[in-house]
Amino acid sequence: MSDLDASTPRVFLARHGETEWTKNGRYTGTSDIELTAHGMEQIQSTAIQLVGPGKLIDPARVVQIWVSPRKRAQQTLQLLFGSDGGSSPAGQATITEDIAEWDYGDYEGLIVSEIRDQRKERGLDRERKWDIWRDGCEGGESAQQVADRLDRLIDRIRDVQMPCMNGEKAADVVLVAHGLILRAFVKRWLGYPLDMPLPMMLPPGGIGILSYKNHDIDEPAFFIGMSLPYQK
């Protein structure tokens, strides 16, 4: 049986669509900003192509959704799965701060160059540039705090998926959240420290996929490419 076989449980990472701040690269953590009209179109396009019976994300195979409390993530969830009460996966989603975006604290609404300039003016980072993965955010979360809450969620996911590693029953899960926290999640899923260099891109409205090698709960992995289900 191939590692690409859908019988191995998967974790789908769904990034919310465009907001006004994602367009210009501003750190958006606790600010409750809604999707733009284009952001809604991005998610609707993703849903049409990838979500539905027999598609990449088949609601019949989804047993749990965890979603950030932020409005932009909530909108994304509804656009992906619909909102018909408890009969859709969206109606059974768990809202949790464990997958909320990194709390940027004093850096909320800033871009990287502005943060580095402000820190430089205060005499910080003389030997090396500020890096969120290593240095965290003043007034917000450290990398360790972020890693701790993601590890807690990963433990919950593996408890769900461990009994289903050979297709005993459907056990796909979906995370609906934000760009930086989902990339942080990938690092922790693989057991890497957050400050380990691992360049990744996940555009607004994009879907990432994680799973396991060899149907083994102790071999977490990510897909670097996947064939899509055949659609008649």
Q: Which residues are catalytic?
A: 16, 101
Report the distance separating Cα 41 and Cα 124, nearest Å: 42
Query: Does 103 appear as a known binding residue?
Result: yes
Query: Does 212 appear as a known binding residue?
Result: no
What would the two tokens of residue 28 be? 């958006």
- At 156, the amino acid letter reads R
Query: Does 102 appear as a known binding residue?
Result: yes
Report the distance separating Cα 232 and Cα 223, nearest Å: 25
The phi-psi region of residue 156 (left if phi > 0; otherwise alpha if psi is between -120 and 50; otherwise beta) is: alpha
**What is the bridge-based pairing of β-strands 220-222 and 62-67?**
unpaired
Residue 123 DSSP one-character state = T
Query: Does 138 appear as a known binding residue?
Result: no
181: closest CA among 129, 225, 143?
143
Query: Does 104 appear as a known binding residue?
Result: yes
Annotated binding residues for substrate, written as ranges, equal: 28-29, 72, 101-104
Q: Report the binding-site residues.
A: 28-29, 72, 101-104
